[in-house]
A and B are shown apart, each in its own frame.
Chain A
Amino acid sequence: NAGVMQNPRHLVRRRGQEARLRCSPMKGHSHVYWYRQLPEEGLKFMVYLQKENIIDESGMPKERFSAEFPKEGPSILRIQQVVRGDSAAYFCASSPVESTEAFFGQGTRLTVV
């Protein structure tokens, strides 16, 4: 089991472009969580998804950010019209069910120039 896979590891976007971050959960895991980590800060919960459903998006900014976890394929975190303040590390975690352990990917470092 390769673990939670995130790609790309590094992503550079110009202001106004779109950023797409991908997360493939561990095999057999149907729950995915996205976190954002700003410089010098801890991880902040953004959204919790199960296959084809958004369960909790209480941490998602109201505009420009969206997430999906289709029946087939990876979970996608999409940021439209990126701004400099979106520069951060974005982490994905997965679990088989609502579990006492979640497994993290290595993160995608987004830089907006």
Chain B
Amino acid sequence: AQRVTQPEKLLSVFKGAPVELKCNYSYSGSPELFWYVQYSRQRLQLLLRHISRESIKGFTADLNKGETSFHLKKPFAQEEDSAMYYCALSAGTNAGKSTFGDGTTLTVKP
């Protein structure tokens, strides 16, 4: 069975501080991992996916198969990063069918 765990419901940091949103997964095969972001009153949107190995808005995430983790990191948080972040796993390449974590609300304080 697939499972995604985001252990922190709430995370608060000061502007300019590093931020790490944790994501652990459980899946027996080779997963595709994603991070989605939902800003206030906006729709859910894809932030990044591990297969692209890209950096979006200063965020990066590395898939660690040994620790079954896909933590999202940013070295210097900005106030506009305040949002809800969801980690998601797809068993294949079909991102439409994914298992989501419960989300972490990030607040960046001035």
Q: Which of A's residues lie within 8 Å of B, judged by CB? A: 3-4, 31, 33, 35, 40-45, 48, 56, 91, 93-95, 98-107
Contacts and interface: CB of A to CB of B under 8 A. Distances in A.
Interface string B1-16: 0001010010000000
A42 B86 contact: yes
Residues of B contacting A: mostly: loop
Contact of A101 (B46, B97, B101): B46
Contact of A104 (B43, B51, B92, B103): B43
Nearest to B46: A101
**Most chain B beta-carbon neighbours within 10 Å: one of A3, A31, A43:** A43
Contacts of A35: 100
A41 B43 contact: no
A107 B93 CA distance: 24
A96 B21 CA distance: 30
A104 B95 contact: no
Nearest to B6: A42
Given A40-B102, A42-B86, A42-B101, A101 B95 contact: yes
